[in-house]
Each structure stands twice: as structure tokens, then as C-alpha cells.
């Protein structure tokens, strides 16, 4: 049983079902209404609807603050300030006296000059110094600074009278790495989410005020407390006002603040103690959609409600994104290992090498070697790779109208487990439309199918919709919502009746009674200029107008008595439409006998309307709704398949929210529970209490009959304790939160985040969504939404397409998979092999197989270049059929990852590099033990070779090591681009996994190696970085080794695919 829409507006306190309301009124025998016209009291007085929305309820908020974390505590002051507003409770004269204003003269010029406050919300401040320091010293840069200081000190003063130019060159290279990494850290953080940076585009630009007794237009920024502001259709309210004078039809669109599309009437009397629920306050940045009014300003800028909501969102403690946490975790591991290597290298030199082999290394050389240990373990190219990877994915997403403001948030979208979506403007179009029309003997389920040429009743219905309407049509087509201004209901009817303009030019409106919440109808008297006849047209709530009707129009235009069967038919239509969340209007008419009316005589017209408004003819019913976006049901289904739950969180009414949730597929269960039903399930409470926090999530159910759904109101949310939240989030797969306030949205997001390792995304488009957007793991705003929402969110859906969210999820998952591939590609050579090279020098007395410069240039130029190609890799399988990754157990780098790096790929690469290194020395007459444990034996020449000759041969062997790493990385990247799939089925040159960028990157990496080796060794070049000429054979010998690496990994993948329970599969990354 569903209440009618108009009764629902009473906040659900006195609800009746459509059958009870409409049918009861309709069970009147034909002719009775003709004999007993309604009295004036019956005609004009009904229960006033005083609660249209609830926000920041005092009792709710006080309870909520004890149930959530410190972030909600920080918004308490602003919430308390909103709740403490009392201007609406004061008599108008007291308001004017305290604000030192005059109803007729407004503020004086002196008072305006004395008030230096600006009517603008202050942007959030950011600590730029802290940001710059984090860029320069954050991540691996701290270790690079240590290495840089060591290099500088080694050059001067430890370098003595003849410091090595190589050390100075290395210092410059390290400085370049620090600068480059800092730039990329800054780039990743550039333009990160800051709520309301563009707030000035949201605020009204001008305002009409009374000052010194004259009406003038001023900049909205110059509006002062005490100003008398004039309001009219289409105006945005420039500040918070107490209404002093209103027309009977004054209404406001508060959807930016409340998320509700239904307009709010204005009033000069207090209708609720809550300042955000009373109608005698007009709030800043809301729209006037109908009527006129005058109000006095009581709050501007930061002190206005919109300013308070802004500060509620900016006071949230920003947490690092999931990717930032993963990078930080990885950085800690690597930095710890690097510092241990650095310390152990110095300790070995100080405790043993210095004494056992005094000629091997002095303090300067020991520091340089220790610096090599430090830099060898640091994948210097990783920050650059991450920044470029995120940039590439962000551009791919932008091409699909998904704008990512903070690059590091990209990966978070792929880990989302729950999306809390607003209804109005997100799941729905945010625009009221006529959905269906019905007559006593026929229904059009789709209003677009109505053809007035062949349907007299429809033509009459459209005529009433057009003439009994206060919306304004500007230049352009009435079908374009941007060209129709007015009450959303009137706009919907006007757009429905488009095309009737020429046929209705014969009618002239001579009298109008505006709609108000007491009478629940709007009336127009129009003259047919051709026949000079007057016609009365009226629209309004069916349960009110049906009492005045005795006739009904059939589809063919014939008038008949409105009998019981006709009333039942209309009742059934209203019930069916109400279940879809539609607002139902009845349109009626009456042909008047009079040819002239004294419309200027108010008393005469009131008496005339009272006499005439009975025995009306029902023309038909119209269903008006804010329809779901066409693409939403498919998007919800896609996310359900991907293991992402979609919850609705809206300020709208419970029944409307549930109806829309069913239409878009958020609710599919046959039965929908309420809070009482959930609490009655004691077995669920017992079962959930025994679960660990990370296990609190429902098992996915594919069959709707197996799913459990629940609808909770804002009052319910305020009443929930921690055990209730645990049960609701764990047991229910489908949840709708209705009649929620901004504070309650914060609570909902925070509580869901605390259960079951959930990563929560929030979508929205209104000012009221900003705090929740800021608090969530990822906030997503619609492009057509308010600037507040867009600035609070990390992701903006430019095309306002809810279906873009699966795109964000898929790309987020893809970027995580590809970043793992990047790390797996970089670490075996750029960290592990380089570390082994330095270790042989420090611990085993061998000459350094790879110079520090070669380490750095390999990581920064070649590894970064090759890694770019991995970011263009397409998914190996359908990522959207897999559940979201568990951020607690699945990390960027884990022990399985370590097995692949240390015991498999890494071993292949460093053994191959050392093999080529020793092979060259073997051809020069040096055996294995001629190179190992040598320490300082080379100081005065060795094995018949001078020191200069040995240094020349060493430069060649080091370059061979460098070239071998370059070629082995080609085999590594060909194997790493697939976790499970064979390279045979993922050809980079053609087919579905085609990746031409890979070929280009391989050629670039080889070119860098060729330039380093042969330009440095060309005649006349100073060869600062000590490269040696590499014989051609050493470019060819590593190729079969790289192929062997690829084949070995192919064998591993084959075992993983075909023996998923084997130990190889269990340790596979």
C-alpha cells in the first residue's frame, strides 16, 4: 500500500493508501455532487504540509557524533551553528530590529560601508610548504638525498687535491633524479580535490536590494547582513534570508542543498523549528522557480548554510589513497633494505676490509661503495613510471568522459566494493517529466505515443496542461528544459504539451489562482476568442479534485457520468503510477455560462470560484516523475556482476526512493525489510557477532529471491548502533537510505567503510553531497552537478552518465594490474641485479660490475621507457566478471611477487649479466678467482696489466653487463605483460592484445644503450661516465638468454593454467 505523493509530502506522519484516499473520495453516487456543492472550508482548507525535507536534526546529530570517528567530530561546530539559527522563530519586527534594517528603506549607505564582510565563501587553505617538502623529500627521494650528500662530500672535501670528475658527474645525475621525481610527485598531486575552488560560479552574480529607500542591483559579493533582497522567477538566492513578503505561489528549488527535486513553497510564518525545514527562510544558492518575494539577509558567505556545509566538507581529514598506501608500503620495505645494505657496507669496511685489505678502499671510496648499495636497491624509475602510468590511464578515461582530478585515485576506483549513489540527478535525470497519461477508459503508458489529432480527450488534456501553467517558455523549443523556467511540475506539463502553441493562440487567460499547498490545485479561466466563451481549467491532487467532479471525458471526447467503475479505474491508475514513484495530477475542466467576469474584484472572484468549483469534468490523470537515466539499469547490472554493491543514499522520500531503486535494479529482492525486520532476525546478529571485521560482507547471490534488501530512513540511521550496522552491511546486499541529511550521509559512508574491508565510492551532484563525496574513498560527481560537488569529488563524470562508473571501475582494476606488471618488470634488473652487482664489490672484493651512473640511467631512462608500454596493455580476461581486489590481502607487492622477482626472473637476469661479465674477462685471460676476492690487488697493476689497462678492460666489462641487462629486459617485458596467458595468444603486433607501443619502447631502450656505449667511447669524447666499447658479439650472446627467460616463464604459465592446484600455481604472482 502506497501513500499518494501529496500525502507523502507530509513526511509520512499521516499516510493513507491510494485506494483508501482516492477510492474513498470516489465512492459517491453520480449527481450527489451536483446537489451538494462543497463549502468554502472544504474547498480551500486542508492539512498544511509542513515537513518537506529534514537536515541536521538536533537530536539526530547529537546521537550521531558519538558513533563515528574524529572526522565527524570536526564538523560538529558548523552543524551546531546551523542548528542554532533562530531568525525564523522571531517576529518580523524583531528580526528587522536586530539586523538594524528597515522593511521599506532597507540598509542605509553608512551601514553598507561599515560592513566590510564579503558575501563569498572562503576557499580552503592548503599548506604549500608542506606539499613542496613532501615532493622533494617524499618516497625514495629521501634515500637519493643521502646518496647525493655522499657524492658531494666524496668529491669535496674527501676527494683531496684530485677529486674524481666521475663523482661530481654522479652527483649531478642524482640531483637530476631528485628533481625529476619531485616534479612527478607534484604532477600526481596537481589539481587534487579541493572543495569549492570554483564556488564563485555557483553563487549568484547579482542581487536586487533596497537601500536608502531605492531599489538597486548590486554584485552578489556586496550583499550585506540586513539588506532587503527582492526575489523573482529564475533568480538565485544570494544569501540566507528571512522572508517578509511572499506571493502565494513563491517556491524554491533546494535540490542543490537537499537532493530533492520537489520545490519548496515560501512562507512568511515559521512552519518548523528546524531552520532547514521551515519555509520562511530562503537559503543561499537555491533557485526561485515561481512567484516573487522579499527577504532580509541574516547570513552571508561563510556564515550562510552553504558556507557551513562547505566547511563541514573541508574539515574532513584526508586519508591517503589506496595507491598511495601501496606505494608507501613498498617504499618502507625497499628503504629499510637499502638502509640496511648501506649500513652493512660501511660496517664491513670499518670492521674488516679497512684492516684486512688497507689498499682496497679509503673512506671516500667506502662511502661511494656504500652509496652504490643504497642506490642499487632503489628503483629510481618507479615514481616516474607510476606517474606516467596513471597519466596514461587518466587520459584513456578522459576520452570516455571520466575526468580524474587526483591521479592517484585512479586505482581506488577499481577496488570499490560499494557505491553509495544519490538519486536525484545521478540515478535519475534530475528533471521532472510527464511519464504517462490516463483517461477513465484508456491509458497511455508512454506519453510520447499520444497523438492529439486522433484523440479528442488527449487534446483537451494537453490544452489544460498548457493553459493552466505558470512556467515561462523562452526562445527555443519547449522540449529543451533549458528554455522553460518555472515550477518543475509546470515545466513537465509544458514540455508534454509542446506543439500546442499555435492551436492555443485562440485562448486568452483572464484569471488565475496559483497553486498552494493548502488548496492543492491551480485554476485558470481562459477565453476562447473565436466563440467568446469562458472555460475553467484546473489541475491538482486527485484526492482533492475528485470530490468536485461529477462527469468524466472518454478518450473519444464524449462526456459521461463519473460512476463507480470510472472512479475505480482512476484509482487503479493512480495506484500503479504511485508505485513507480510518480506524482499524480488530475486535470479537469468546466465550461462557464458567463461571458464576462469582474476579475479585478477579489471578493467577487472568490465567491464565484466557491460557487463554480463543483460538478467538474475529469479530463484525465498525468503521471509526473523524475525518470531514471536510460543507462542506469545496465550500469547497475554491470557493477553487480563485478561484485560491486550499489546503495542508494538520498534525501528524498522512502517510497519514492524504493520505487526508483527497483526501476534501476538496485533493489531486486521480492521482499524489502525495514529496520524492525532486521532487528527481529536475532540469528543474524548472533552469526555476525562471531565474524571478524574483514569478513563482514554478504555472499553474492545471483538469484533475486536469494538476495536480501532493506530500506532505512534518516531516523533509522540516527538510531543504529554498531551491532545494527554490522548486521545491515553484512546481511543485506541491497540497501536504500532515504530521507537522509548531510551528516547522516557522512555516517553512512564511514560505517560502511568500517565493515568488511569495504572501499566506498559516493556519487552525487548537489551541495548536500559534498561532505560525503569528500569523506568517501572515492567521490564521483556528475558534470552537470553543482560546483561544490565537483570540487569535493575526485572524479567527475563529464557526460553525466552513470554508465561511466563501470568504465572507471574497469580502468581502475586495469591500472592496478598493469602497475604490478611495471613493478615486476623493474625490480629484477633495476633493483635485484644492481644490488647483486654492488654486493660482489663490497663483500667479495670484486671490481664493480656496474657503475652508479649506469645504474641510474638504466632505471630512469630505459626502464621507464619500457614500462610505458605496459600501461597500454589490455586486460587478459574480463576484469568486470571478477570480484574487487581485497585491499587488505592483495597488495602491489607481496611474497608471491617476491618469489617471481628473487627466485625466478631476477635469477635469470643477474646470472646472465654476470655470465657475460665473466665471459669477457675469461677471453682477456682472467679466471673466476682472478676477479673474486681481489680487493686492492689492482692498485699497482695486476697479472701483467697496468692499472690504466685494467681500468679500460673494466669499463668494457661494465658496459657489457649494462648491455646484457638491457637485452634481458626485453625478454622480461615480453613475459611480464601476461600473468596467465601465453605470449602466443597475446601477440604485440596483431590481434586483440596488440600493443605497438611495446615495439617502439624496445627500440628506444636499445637506442639509449647504443648512444651511451658508442657516443661515450667515440674519439674526442671525455667519457666522464666510464663506458667501454662493447664488441658486437656481446650484443648477440644475450639474445638467446632473453629467449630462454621467456620460454621458462611460458612453461611456468602453462603449469599454472593446467595445474591450478600445483605448488607452482600456489606461488604464482
Query: Is 1045 contained in some domain?
Result: yes
User: Domain for residue 818, yes or no?
Assistant: yes
* 901, pLDDT greater than 50: yes
Phi and psi at residue 712, to the nearest 5°: -120, 145
Residue that the C-alpha cell 563485478 belongs to: 642
Q: Are residues 768 and 915 in the same domain?
A: no
The answer to whether residue 154 scores a pLDDT higher than 90 is no
Chain centroid to CA 402: 10
Alpha-carbon span 900 to 896, nearest angstrom: 7
Q: What is the mean pLDDT of residues 877-906?
A: 86
Residue range 579-583: mean pLDDT, rounded: 82
> Does residue 246 sit in the same domain as residue 395?
no
Task: Decide if 62 is inside a domain.
Answer: no
Q: Do 106 and 139 belong to one domain?
A: no
What pLDDT, on a 0 to 100 scale, did the predictor assign at position 199? 35
Q: What digits encode the pLDDT tens for the residues 703-715?
A: 666 789 999 998 9
The mean per-residue pLDDT over the stretch 289-295 comes to 89
**In angstroms, rounded to a whole number, what is the distance separating the alpha carbons of residues 1009 and 857?**
9
The predicted structure's pLDDT at residue 148: 82
Locate cell 631502450: which residue?
Answer: 1005
Distances (CA, A) of 248 to 72, 245, 820: 40, 10, 64
pLDDT in tens, 549-570: 999 999 999 999 999 899 889 9
pLDDT at residue 450 in the model: 81
Q: Mean pLDDT throughout 773-779? A: 86
pLDDT reported for residue 280: 93
Q: How does DSSP assign 498-562, residue by residue?
A: TT-TGGGTTEEEEEEE---TTT-EEEEEEEETTTTEEEEEEEE-HHHHGGGEEEEE-TTS-EEE-
pLDDT digits (tens, 9 = 90+) for 47-63: 222 222 233 433 333 33
- CATH (domain of 916): 1.20.1110.10
Q: What is the pLDDT of residue 57?
A: 32
| Residue 630 within any structural domain of the chain | no
Considering the domain architecture, whether residues 798 and 853 belong to the same structural domain is answered as: no
Residues 909, 1052 within the same domain = yes
Distance of alpha carbon 555 from the chain centroid: 48
- pLDDT > 80? residue 469: yes
Do the Cβ atoms of 769 and 792 come closer than 8 Å? yes
689 and 561 share a domain?
A: no
- Is residue 71 situated within a structural domain? no
pLDDT of amino acid 55: 36
pLDDT for position 400: 85
Q: Are residues 24 and 39 in the same domain?
A: yes
pLDDT exceeds cutoff 90 at 464 = yes
Q: Residues 178, 145: contact at Cβ < 8 Å?
A: yes
The answer as to whether 219 is a domain residue is yes
Percentage above 70 pLDDT, the chain = 85
Residue pair 453/447 in contact by the 8 Å Cβ criterion: no
SS3 category, 988: coil
pTM: 0.72
Residue 43's pLDDT is 29
Rg of the chain on CA atoms, in Å: 37
Q: Are residues 676 and 785 in the same domain?
A: yes
Q: What would the pLDDT profile of 293-325 be if each residue is shown by its tens digit?
A: 999 999 998 889 888 877 776 655 566 778 878
Q: How far apart are CA 150 and CA 156, in angstroms?
A: 10
CB burial readout 703-728, b (16+ within 10 A) else e: eeeebbbbbbbbbbbbebeeebbbbb
Mean pLDDT of the chain: 81
> Residue 247's domain is classified under what CATH number?
2.70.150.10
- Which pLDDT does position 190 carry in this prediction? 61
Question: Tell me, what's the pLDDT at 32?
Answer: 31
Provide the greatest CA pair distance for the chain. 131
* 130: pLDDT strictly greater than 80: no
Mean pLDDT calculated for residue range 112-116: 91
Q: What's the CATH number where 727 sits?
A: 3.40.50.1000
Domain with 694 in it:
402-428+639-809
Higher-pLDDT residue of 876, 974: 974
Number of separate domains in the chain: 4
Query: Residue 390 has what pLDDT?
Result: 79
Assess whether pLDDT exceeds 50 at residue 37.
no
Q: Could you tell me which residues are beta bridge partners of residue 217?
A: 208
Shared-domain flag, residues 239 and 301 = yes
Domain boundary among 295, 314, 333: 314
- Per-residue pLDDT of 371-423, as tens digits, reads 877 777 777 667 777 777 777 888 888 888 888 877 778 888 889 999 999 88
Q: Is residue 66 part of a domain?
A: no
Residue 55 lies in a domain: no
Is residue 19 over pLDDT 70? no
Lowest-confidence region among 65-74, 271-280, 446-455: 65-74
1052 with 974, same domain? yes
**Residues 283, 327: one domain?**
no
Q: Check residue 152 and give its pLDDT.
A: 82
- Using alpha carbons, select from 653, 618, 439, 445 the residue that is nearest to residue 542: 618
The last residue of a domain, from among 265, 294, 314:
314
Span of 72-86, 636-650, 803-817, 1010-1024 with lowest mean pLDDT: 72-86
pLDDT over threshold 70, residue 656: yes
**What is the structure's pLDDT at 261?**
60
SS3 label, residue 967: helix
Question: Confidence class of residue 25 from pLDDT cuts 50, 70 and 90?
Answer: very low
| 805 and 692 share one domain | yes
- The β-bridge partners of 760 are 418
Q: How far is CA 107 from the centre of its chain?
A: 43
> Mean pLDDT highest for which of 392-401, 573-582, 857-866, 992-1001?
992-1001
- The residue from 783, 809, 835 where one domain ends is 809
Q: In the predicted model, is pLDDT for residue 633 greater than 90?
A: yes
Q: What are the backbone dihedrals phi and psi of residue 782, each rounded to the nearest 5 degrees, phi first?
A: -75, 145
**What's the pLDDT at 391?**
79
Q: Is the confidence at residue 548, as pLDDT, over 70? A: yes
The pLDDT of residue 397: 85
Q: How confident is the model at residue 851 (pLDDT cuts 50, 70, 90)?
A: confident
For the residues 231-238, what does the mean pLDDT come to? Answer: 87
Cell digits of residue 217: 542591483
Percent of all residues in the chain with a pLDDT value above 90, rounded to a whole number? 31
Amino acid at each position: 500500500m502506497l501513500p499518494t505523493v501529496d500525502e507523502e509530502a507530509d513526511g509520512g506522519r499521516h499516510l493513507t493508501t491510494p485506494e483508501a484516499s482516492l477510492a474513498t473520495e470516489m465512492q459517491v453516487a453520480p449527481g450527489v455532487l451536483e446537489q451538494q456543492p462543497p463549502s468554502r472550508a472544504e474547498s480551500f482548507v486542508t492539512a498544511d504540509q509542513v515537513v518537506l525535507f529534514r537536515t541536521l536534526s538536533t537530536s539526530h546529530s547529537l546521537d550521531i557524533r558519538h558513533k563515528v570517528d574524529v572526522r565527524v567530530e570536526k564538523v560538529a561546530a558548523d552543524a551546531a551553528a546551523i542548528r542554532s539559527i533562530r531568525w525564523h522563530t522571531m517576529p518580523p519586527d524583531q528580526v528587522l530590529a536586530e539586523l538594524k534594517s528597515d522593511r521599506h528603506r532597507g540598509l542605509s549607505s553608512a551601514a553598507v560601508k561599515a560592513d566590510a564582510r564579503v558575501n563569498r565563501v572562503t576557499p580552503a587553505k592548503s599548506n604549500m610548504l608542506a606539499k613542496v617538502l613532501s615532493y622533494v623529500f617524499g618516497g625514495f627521494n629521501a634515500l637519493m638525498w643521502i646518496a647525493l650528500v655522499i657524492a658531494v662530500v666524496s668529491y669535496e672535501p674527501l676527494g683531496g687535491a684530485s677529486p674524481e670528475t666521475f663523482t661530481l658527474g654522479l652527483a649531478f645525475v642524482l640531483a637530476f633524479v631528485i628533481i625529476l621525481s619531485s616534479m612527478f610527485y607534484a604532477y600526481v598531486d596537481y589539481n587534487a580535490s579541493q572543495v569549492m575552488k570554483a564556488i564563485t560560479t555557483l553563487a549568484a552574480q547579482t542581487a536586487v536590494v533596497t537601500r536608502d529607500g531605492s531599489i538597486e542591483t548590486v554584485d552578489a559579493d556586496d550583499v550585506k547582513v540586513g539588506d532587503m533582497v527582492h526575489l523573482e522567477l529564475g533568480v538565485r538566492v544570494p544569501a540566507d534570508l528571512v522572508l517578509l513578503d511572499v506571493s502565494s505561489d513563491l517556491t524554491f528549488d533546494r535540490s542543490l542543498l537537499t537532493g530533492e527535486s520537489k520545490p519548496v513553497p515560501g512562507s512568511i510564518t515559521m512552519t518548523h523549528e528546524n531552520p532547514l525545514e521551515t519555509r520562511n527562510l530562503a537559503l543561499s544558492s537555491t533557485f526561485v522557480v515561481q512567484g516573487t518575494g522579499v527577504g532580509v539577509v541574516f547570513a552571508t558567505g561563510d556564515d550562510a548554510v552553504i558556507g557551513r556545509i562547505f566547511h563541514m566538507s573541508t574539515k574532513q581529514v584526508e586519508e591517503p589513497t589506496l595507491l598511495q598506501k601501496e606505494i608507501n608500503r613498498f617504499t618502507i620495505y625497499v628503504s629499510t633494505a637499502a638502509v640496511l645494505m648501506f649500513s652493512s657496507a660501511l660496517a664491513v669496511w670499518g670492521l674488516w676490509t679497512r684492516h684486512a685489505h688497507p689498499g682496497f678502499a679509503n673512506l671516500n671510496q667506502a662511502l661511494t661503495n656504500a652509496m652504490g648499495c643504497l642506490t642499487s636497491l632503489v628503483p629510481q624509475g618507479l615514481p616516474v613510471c607510476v606517474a606516467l602510468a596513471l597519466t596514461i590511464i587518466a587520459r584513456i578515461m578522459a576520452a570516455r568522459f571520466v575526468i580524474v582530478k587526483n591521479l592517484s585515485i585512479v586505482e581506488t576506483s577499481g577496488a570499490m566494493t560499494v557505491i553509495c549513489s544519490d538519486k536525484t540527478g545521478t540515478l535519475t535525470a534530475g528533471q521532472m517529466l510527464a511519464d504517462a497519461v490516463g483517461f477513465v477508459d484508456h491509458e497511455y503508458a508512454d506519453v510520447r505515443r499520444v497523438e492529439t489529432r486522433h484523440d479528442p480527450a488527449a487534446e483537451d488534456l494537453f490544452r489544460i496542461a498548457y493553459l493552466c501553467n505558470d512556467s515561462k517558455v523562452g526562445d527555443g523549443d519547449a522540449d529543451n528544459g533549458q528554455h522553460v523556467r518555472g515550477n518543475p511540475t509546470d515545466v513537465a506539463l509544458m514540455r508534454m504539451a509542446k506543439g500546442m502553441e499555435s492551436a492555443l493562440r485562440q485562448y486568452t487567460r483572464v484569471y488565475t489562482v496559483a497553486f498552494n499547498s493548502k488548496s492543492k490545485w491551480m485554476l485558470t479561466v481562459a477565453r476562447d476568442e473565436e466563440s467568446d466563451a469562458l472555460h475553467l481549467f484546473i489541475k491538482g491532487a486527485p484526492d482533492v479534485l475528485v470530490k468536485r467532479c461529477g462527469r468524466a471525458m472518454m478518450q473519444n471526447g464524449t462526456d459521461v457520468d463519473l460512476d463507480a467503475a470510472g472512479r475505480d479505474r482512476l484509482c487503479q491508475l493512480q495506484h500503479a503510477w504511485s508505485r513507480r514513484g510518480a506524482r499524480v495530477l488530475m486535470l479537469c475542466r468546466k465550461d462557464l455560462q458567463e461571458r464576462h467576469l469582474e476579475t479585478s474584484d477579489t471578493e467577487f472572484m472568490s465567491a464565484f470560484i466557491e460557487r463554480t468549483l463543483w460538478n467538474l469534468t475529469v479530463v484525465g490523470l498525468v503521471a509526473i516523475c523524475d525518470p531514471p537515466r536510460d543507462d542506469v539499469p545496465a550500469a547497475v547490472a554491470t557493477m553487480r556482476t563485478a561484485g560491486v554493491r550499489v546503495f542508494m543514499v538520498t534525501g528524498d522520500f522512502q517510497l519514492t526512493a524504493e520505487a526508483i531503486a527497483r526501476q534501476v535494479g538496485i533493489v531486486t529482492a521480492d521482499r524489502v525489510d525495514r529496520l524492525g525486520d532486521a532487528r527481529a532476525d536475532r540469528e543474524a546478529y548472533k552469526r555476525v557477532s562471531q565474524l571478524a571485521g574483514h569478513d563482514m560482507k554478504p555472499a553474492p547471490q545471483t538469484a533475486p529471491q536469494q538476495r536480501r534488501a532493506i530500506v532505512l530512513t534518516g531516523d533509522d540511521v540516527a538510531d543504529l548502533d554498531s551491532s545494527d550496522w554490522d548486521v545491515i552491511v553484512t546481511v543485506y546486499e541491497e540497501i536504500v537510505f532515504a530521507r537522509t541529511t548531510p551528516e547522516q550521509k557522512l555516517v553512512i559512508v564511514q560505517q560502511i567503510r568500517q565493515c568488511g574491508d569495504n572501499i566506498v565510492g559516493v556519487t552525487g551532484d548537489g551541495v548536500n553531497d559534498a561532505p560525503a563525496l569528500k569523506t568517501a574513498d572515492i567521490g564521483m560527481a556528475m558534470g552537470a552537478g553543482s560546483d561544490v560537488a565537483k570540487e569535493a569529488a575526485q572524479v567527475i563524470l563529464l557526460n553525466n552518465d552513470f554508465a561511466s562508473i563501470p568504465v572507471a571501475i574497469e580502468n581502475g582494476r586495469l591500472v592496478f594490474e598493469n602497475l604490478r606488471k611495471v613493478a615486476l618488470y623493474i625490480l629484477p634488473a633495476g633493483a635485484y641485479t644492481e644490488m647483486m652487482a654492488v654486493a660482489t664489490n663490497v663483500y667479495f672484493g670484486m671490481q664493480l660490475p656496474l657503475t652508479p651512473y649506469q645504474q641510474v640511467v638504466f632505471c630512469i631512462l630505459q626502464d621507464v621507457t619500457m614500462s610505458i608500454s605496459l600501461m597500454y596493455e589490455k586486460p587478459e580476461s574480463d576484469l568486470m566478471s571478477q570480484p574487487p581486489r581485497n585491499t587488505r590481502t592483495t597488495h602491489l607487492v607481496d611474497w608471491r611477487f617476491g618469489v617471481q622477482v628473487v627466485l625466478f626472473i631476477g635469477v635469470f637476469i643477474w646470472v646472465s649479466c654476470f655470465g657475460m661479465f665473466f665471459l669477457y674477462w675469461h677471453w682477456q685471460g682472467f679466471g673466476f678467482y682472478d676477479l673474486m676476492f681481489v680487493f686492492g690487488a689492482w692498485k699497482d697493476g695486476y697479472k701483467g696489466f697496468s692499472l690504466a689497462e685494467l681500468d679500460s678492460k673494466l669499463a668494457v666489462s661494465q658496459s657489457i653487463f649494462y648491455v646484457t641487462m638491457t637485452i634481458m629486459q626485453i625478454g622480461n617485458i615480453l613475459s611480464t605483460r601476461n600473468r596467465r596467458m601465453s605470449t602466443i595468444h597475446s601477440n604485440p603486433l596483431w590481434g586483440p592484445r596488440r600493443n605497438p607501443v611495446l615495439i617502439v619502447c624496445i627500440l628506444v631502450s636499445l637506442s639509449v644503450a647504443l648512444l651511451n656505449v658508442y657516443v661515450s667511447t667515440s674519439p674526442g669524447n671525455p667519457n666522464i661516465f666510464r663506458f667501454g666499447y662493447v664488441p658486437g658479439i656481446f650484443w648477440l650472446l644475450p639474445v638467446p638468454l632473453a629467449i630462454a627467460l621467456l620460454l621458462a616463464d611460458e612453461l611456468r604459465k602453462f603449469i599454472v593454467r593446467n595445474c591450478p592446484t600445483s605448488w607452482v600455481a600456489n606461488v604464482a604472482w
